[in-house]
Amino acid sequence: MKKFGVTILLSTLSIIYSDAQTINYDGKEFELSNVIASTTFLNGEKVLKIERDLTKVPFDINHLEKTVDEPTFLKLKNVEFENGIIEIKVLSQLQDPLPFKFSKGFIGLAFRVNKDNSAYQSIYLRPKAGRSENQLERNHTVQYYAYPNYKFAKLRKEEYKGQYETYANIDLNEWITIKIEVKDKKAILYLNGQKHPSFIVNEMLGDFNGSGIGLWVDVGTIGYFKELKIIKTK
């Protein structure tokens, strides 16, 4: 009986630890939210590697809208960000085998994340779409969404006039510099050091009163991140 009791206790402790799991990288501490994450070396550089945890957030192709654009990110701890600039380099690869054959290497940032991850803003990339031979697919390379009520499928409806997606000349297996400038209800995306914006969200939707930042990926993606920089403005 004693042996059985110890087994149960250790199992419980393991569950508690996994729910509050953190990872340290480049002097920063991150908390896992529905992802599998580690530090690794890519081409001799130490980077963060992040994949969506399908055991915590199952994917269902028959209920696509309900099971994508979810809080699947590595959340930066002890940082409050409202307005300013977030910059990071990302590289996206596809998992093999692919759990979703239409995966485009979904990778990006979540910001204004609230404390329990139940609301946030996000801009992410579909790098595989950037070099597609299909122009309609290319037009979906960059995506904005607001969790939980304004996911990509809703924002792709005619009433939103395509203003929350756009094209960008990017691809898988290459480092892409993402810089997002956030000011009140507006978010501006710059890619790869370009002088002019690649994408502008003139008015963010939903609840944008949080202050967290997350390194975001979605189904079928192996995401690599490095060189996170944050500049706050009042």
Superfamily name with CATH number, domain 24-233: Exo-inulinase; domain 1 (2.60.120.560)
If we measure between CA atoms, which residue out of 211, 225, 179 comes closest to residue 26? 225
* DSSP string for 37-72: EEEEEETTEEEEEEEE-TTTS---GGGHHHHSS-S-
- Residues 146-188: tens digit of each pLDDT: 999 999 999 999 999 999 999 999 999 999 999 999 999 999 9
- Torsion-angle region of 209 (φ positive above 0: left; ψ -120 to 50: alpha; else: beta): alpha
- pLDDT tens for each residue of 191-201: 999 999 999 99
* CB-based contacts of 183, cutoff 8 Å, min separation 6: 83, 233
Chain segment 11-55, per-residue pLDDT in tens: 222 222 334 599 999 999 999 999 999 999 999 999 999 999 999
pTM of the complete model: 0.90
| For residues 1-6, average pLDDT | 37
Check whether 83 has a pLDDT greater than 60: yes
Q: Is the pLDDT assigned to residue 8 strictly greater than 60?
A: no
pLDDT of residue 234: 79
- Residue 138 has what pLDDT? 97
Work out the pLDDT band at 9, boundaries 50, 70, 90: very low
Please tell me the total number of residues recorded for the chain in this structure.
234
Retrieve residue 51's tokens. Answer: 């994949």
- pLDDT value, residue 233: 94
**How much of the chain exceeds pLDDT 70, in percent?**
91
Residues 6+ apart with CB under 8 A from 67: 57, 58, 59, 60, 219
How crowded is residue 185: how many other Cβ atoms within 10 Å of its Cβ? 12
Q: Is 60 exceeded by the pLDDT of residue 4?
A: no
pLDDT tens string 91-135: 999 999 999 999 999 999 999 999 999 999 999 999 999 999 999
